[in-house]
Chains A and B, each alone.
Chain A
């Protein structure tokens, strides 16, 4: 990262951002777009002339709990936001992970803008949806310094192109987001988690499938190595108190062994750990990966990758649809390509969550896309940022 050595600009308003961008565009300078920089290690490393730090844009425009909507500046921290929602019994259903444990940064400083720009969703993705499903509208500044808005604040909206989705997950390569409007939901009144010993990957995946086939509102199905070193399967049920109690009974009947039951706070703490990938405990020189794949392909994929030495430690979330793993940093140039190839072979999407800058620059942190799609992505970038001044190379590997 060269960011620390460059000039850091801290705008306090959307107009400031527009001015900075216009100046940069006029001067032919590039900008590294960040919130509080807690996840600069995510995506490809950026080399830019200046850094734009948006943490100061932390004003809440409105929070309307009855209408389930909040509009806030991108600099508001996720902690503050979640705190405020919790006070009204509401939450962000997409359960945004911070991943600051991976990057050695301060979790409390992770911003809402960062959550939208990286579009990382937590364990509840299987039930409630992804970040993109909760972004109702955005305000941003394009590469020419124009302030634009897209979407709105209503739950339903098909007026014009959904640019809000487009900028979500674009890692600040299309526009500098200045404010976002999010849909929020009432938090479940009750939750509990069932923990039982894991069996084979295929057995556990089959169990996940069986559970997911029932309309029980299960918002968490993971498999990990527990604190005692043994593998466990983890199941989260949420809803009203009577609903949760009822679903608990139905679930127990499906399980091969009686589970340990964690209630409320204990359950929440466990899912925070899963969300943050804590059980991977990657060593300093290890790479961290996320692979999205069809759950049915997961057991064979993991077995093969472990045999090939591409997976060191791993755990599984999203009912088997995502594998988080560490990779030894011994010969990463070789292993990265081998692991990617294995993923590609089964149509899986492999993302490097953490690796040394050189590795991410060379291979790209994001899953490779087909040439035609890459070209369309590039044309879309040009449509927002014609001179390519925002986060150059963040999502693409420069030839």
Chain B
């Protein structure tokens, strides 16, 4: 993975920068010692590592403001970081940049139950919001599997999804207001702490959400709270073939039902988890769907009947419906343990998150089988079927020379197949460094230029999280003065990282 060439001049100033930053955040909140910086070398993708110049932990938005202003003046790069669970390398440090970590900005500032909003700091772990409002019968809906650890700031930066986003939407649909600090140190406030607070203003909040820390450092978030659904029931449906399971996904949606969650697991995943949950799956089962339905008891009972009928019509071998909360948890445990179960089968695995139109599922899954043969690597499938968000788990052994490269190439082929099927490179993990160089497959140069122009509006010095998302630097100074004609590349001479 090629990153922008680090600046030796900046790296030489490390000690002086540490002294100056300590004056802002206090002695103990700048980590300079190499051993203490080591845990920050990577995020959720351990294949990419870099030692950050310094790790800085601000305690307030005012401190963030001072840090960014200082770094802007000195030309020092900044990489924002929440809990470092990103699966695309978005929080990968830069050797000539500071890592700005939100762990100390971890307070739920206000719960406004009547208006159904909570104001929180970016370092609050996702689950803490729901915990803080549980006693009111409310929750924060988006629930990435990493919700115990991943921060709401990181969720905003990645526009995280979750099992329940099929029905309830992703992070962007639940953010009502943001406070953010631009690289210059300027604080901006968008939207506010009530539904509709952003009406009539340009949707800068929309573009900040999912911008992977490239546009501004988010320092406060107003999130929408929802009442916890009265009941949830899950139906487990087993199918003799992957095709039939995929067809059932379309048929459920086609029947006018939007389940709270609709997950797919293939036979390999089932075999892996059956050891852990001490349950066996019918030998004719090639794929399993888990369909969660929630709402009021009457509503859910009605939907359970419809979905069960659909499943039978689509050739399900067996359907099991949870009748108690305990049963529901047990049925879900197979899905929850899927990734760790696969982890026990192989030394390493690699998982991407390309997303496709639902009706292209069989086509792309078949292509994956061919790729597996081509690369000689095994794989398994466990993914958010309802929204076509694939999570192929490619198994490899990092100790074997060339295996990682093969896994990466396999993953890239899957992503390209997703784009070719009318889909996108990333449904929820973001582009980061992982998918950066594939962006040109999904977007034309004009599309990418337009996105990078927006970067220039926010951070013309390109100091905030550079080297991520886009395969080339922005060259903000030159933008706006150039014209493209008939799709000609604007800067054919720009070196790719």
Contacting residues, chain B, for A153 (C-beta < 8 A): 357, 422-423
Query: Which B residue sits closest to A375, measured CB to CB?
Result: B186
Q: Mark B291-310, 1 if CB is under 8 A from A, else 0.
A: 00001111101110000000
Alpha-carbon gap, A274 to B138, bound state (A): 28
**Which A192-251 residues sit within 8 Å CB-CB of chain B?**
209, 212-217, 239-243, 245-247, 250
Q: Which of B169, B199, B227, B297 contacts A133, CB < 8 Å?
A: B169
In the complex, the answer to whether A160 meets B194 with C-beta atoms within 8 Å is no
Q: Is A55 an interface residue (CB 8 A)?
A: no
Contact A66 B253 (CB under 8 A): yes
Q: Once bound together, how far apart are the Cα atoms of A181 and B194, in whole Å?
A: 28
**Which stretch in A6-14, A104-112, A164-172, A275-283 binds the other chain?**
A164-172
Does B159 lie within 8 Å of A158, measured CB to CB? yes
Say yes or no: B207 contacts A147, CB within 8 Å. Answer: no
CB distance from A19 to the nearest CB of B (A): 11
8 Å CB contact of B387 from A154, A377, A395: A154
Q: Verify B295–A125 contact, CB threshold 8 A.
A: no
Q: A242 — which chain B residues lie within 8 A by C-beta?
A: 298-299, 301-302
Instruction: Report whether B480 and A189 are in contact in the complex, using a CB–CB cutoff of 8 Å.
Output: no
Contact B424–A159 (Cβ < 8 Å): yes
Beta-carbon contacts under 8 Å, B404-452 to A = 422-431, 435, 439, 442-444, 446-451
Asked if A150 contacts B302 (CB within 8 A), the reply is no
What's the Cα separation between A295 and B193 when bound, in Å?
11
Q: Determine the chain A residues whose CB is within 8 A of the CB of B483 once the complex forms.
A: 144
Q: Does B189 contact A (CB under 8 A)?
A: yes
Most buried by A among B189, B256, B479: B256
B contact residues around A296 at 8 Å (CB): 112, 114-115
Least CB separation from A156: chain B residue = B427
CA distance A23 to B495 in the complex (A): 32
Are B359 and A66 in contact (CB-based, < 8 A)?
Answer: yes
Q: How many A-B residue pairs have CB under 8 A?
A: 275
- Cβ contact within 8 Å between B114 and A209: yes
> Per-residue CB proximity of A286-311 to B under 8 Å, as 1/0?
00001011111000000000000000
Considering the chains assembled together, what is the distance between the CA atoms of A142 and B453 in angstroms? 11
Is there an interface contact between A154 and B357, defined as CB atoms closer than 8 Å?
Answer: yes
* Interface status of A68 (Cβ within 8 A of chain B): yes
Interface residues of A in 119-169 (CB under 8 A from B): 119, 125-126, 129, 132-133, 142, 144, 146-150, 152-163, 165-166, 168-169
Assess the B454–A157 pair: CB atoms within 8 A: no
Residue A376 is within 8 A (CB to CB) of chain B in the complex? yes
Residues 75-97 of chain B: 1 if any A CB is under 8 Å from the residue's CB, otherwise 0? 00000000000000000000000
A125 & B195 in contact (Cβ 8 Å cutoff): yes
User: With A and B bound together, what is the CA distance between A67 and B430 in angstroms?
Assistant: 22
How far does the alpha carbon of A275 sit from the alpha carbon of B188 in the complex, in Å? 33
What is the total number of residues of chain A having a CB less than 8 Å from a CB of chain B? 84
Q: A166-B202, A351-B199, A380-B202 are in contact. Are A67 and B427 (CB under 8 A)?
A: no
**Least Cβ distance of A357 to chain B in Å?**
18
Q: Is the CB of A162 within 8 A of B209?
A: yes
Cβ distance A356 to chain B, nearest Cβ, rounded Å: 19
Are A154 and B356 closer than 8 Å at their CB atoms?
yes
Which of the residues A165, A217, A384 comes within 8 Å of B295, measured between beta carbons?
A217
Given the known inter-chain contacts A67-B357, A294-B115, please indicate yes or no for A243 contacting B199, CB distance below 8 A.
Answer: no
**How far, in whole Å, are A92 and B247 apart by their CA atoms in the complex?**
25
Interface assignment of A379: CB less than 8 Å from any CB of chain B: yes
Q: Is the CB of A158 within 8 A of B207?
A: no
Cα-based distance from A243 to B301 in the complex (angstroms): 9
Q: How far is the CA of A347 from the CA of B115 in the complex (A)?
A: 14
A386 at the interface (CB under 8 A from B): yes
Asked if A370 lies at the interface with its beta carbon under 8 angstroms from chain B, I say yes
Contact at B254–A243, with CB atoms within 8 Å? Answer: no
| A47 beta carbon closer than 8 Å to chain B | no
**A115 lies within 8 A of chain B by Cβ:** no
- A160 pairs with B299, CB closer than 8 A: no
Q: Is the CB of B443 within 8 A of A160?
A: yes
Whether the Cβ atoms of B388 and A155 lie closer than 8 Å is: yes
Specify which chain A residues have a CB less than 8 angstroms from the CB of B116 in the assembled complex.
212
> Contacts of A154 on B, CB cut-off 8 Å?
355-357, 387-389, 422-424, 427
Complex formed: what's the CA distance from A218 to B148 in Å? 30
* CB-CB under 8 A for A372 and B484, given A321-B196, A349-B197: no
Closest A residue to B470 by CB, please name it: A160
B172: interface (CB < 8 Å)? yes
Interface residue? B275 (CB, 8 A): no
Cβ of A189: which chain B residues have Cβ within 8 Å of it? 256
Nearest-neighbour CB distance to chain A for B388, whole angstroms, equals 6
A366 contact set on B, CB distance < 8 A: 200-201
Q: Are B206 and A166 in contact (CB under 8 A)?
A: yes
B451:A165 contact, CB within 8 angstroms: no
Bound: A322/B384 CA distance, A: 36
Q: Which residues, 312 to 335 on A, are CB-close (under 8 Å) to B?
A: 318, 321-322
Q: Looking at the assembled complex, report how far the CB atom of A239 sits from the nearest CB atom of chain B, in whole angstroms.
A: 6
Minimal Cβ-Cβ distance residue in A for B439: A160
Enumerate chain B residues within 8 angstroms of A265, measured Cβ to Cβ.
none
Q: Would you call B358 an interface residue if the criterion is a C-beta within 8 Å of the partner chain's C-beta atoms?
A: yes
Answer whether A372 and B187 are a contact pair too, CB < 8 Å, given A68-B253, A156-B161, A156-B387: yes
A259 close to B (CB within 8 Å)? no
Q: Which of A161, A245, A351, A377 has the most CB of B within 10 A?
A: A161
Query: B172 to A367, Cβ gap below 8 A?
Result: no
Say yes or no: B206 contacts A64, CB within 8 Å: no
Q: Is the C-beta of B211 less than 8 angstroms from some C-beta in chain A? A: yes
Q: Is the CB of A158 within 8 A of B427?
A: yes
Q: Which of A162, A163, A321, A367 lies at the interface centre, i.e. has the most chain B CB atoms within 10 A of its CB?
A: A162
Residue in B229, B384, B423, B426 whose CB lies within 8 Å of A158: B426
Contact with A along B164-180 (1 / 0, CB 8 A): 01100110110000000
Cβ B450 vs Cβ A142 within 8 A: yes
Contact with B along A66-96 (1 / 0, CB 8 A): 1111000000000000000000010000000
Residue of A nearest to B435 (CB): A159
Write out the residue numbers on chain A whose beta carbons fall within 8 Å of the beta carbon of B114: 209, 295-296
Complex: how many Å from CA A177 to CA B54?
A: 44
A158–B158 CB distance below 8 A = yes
Interface residues of A in 371-391 (CB under 8 A from B): 372-373, 376-377, 379-380, 382-384, 386
Report A-chain residues with C-beta under 8 Å of the C-beta of B257: 186
Is B478 part of the binding interface, using a Cβ–Cβ cutoff of 8 Å? no
A393 contacts the other chain (Cβ, under 8 Å)? Answer: no
Establish whether residues A215 and B227, one from each chain, have CB atoms under 8 Å apart when the complex forms: yes
B469: chain A residues within 8 A (beta carbon) = 160
**Complex interface: chain B residues within 8 A of A69 (CB):** 357
Give A156 to B189 CA distance when docked, in angstroms: 26
CA distance in complex: A189, B190 (Å): 37
Task: Give the residues in chain B near A292, CB-CB below 8 Å.
Answer: 194-197, 199-200
Inter-chain contact A380/B204, CB cutoff 8 Å: yes
**Is the CB of A56 closer than 8 A to any CB of chain B?**
no
Chain A to chain B contacts (Cβ below 8 Å), 8 pairs = A144-B483, A146-B484, A155-B389, A156-B427, A158-B158, A158-B427, A166-B204, A296-B112
B residues apposed to A, CB below 8 Å: 112-116, 136-138, 158-159, 161, 165-166, 169-170, 172-173, 182, 186-190, 192-204, 206-207, 209-211, 215, 226-230, 250, 253-254, 256-258, 295-299, 301-303, 355-359, 384, 387-389, 422-431, 435, 439, 442-444, 446-451, 453-458, 469, 479-480, 483-484
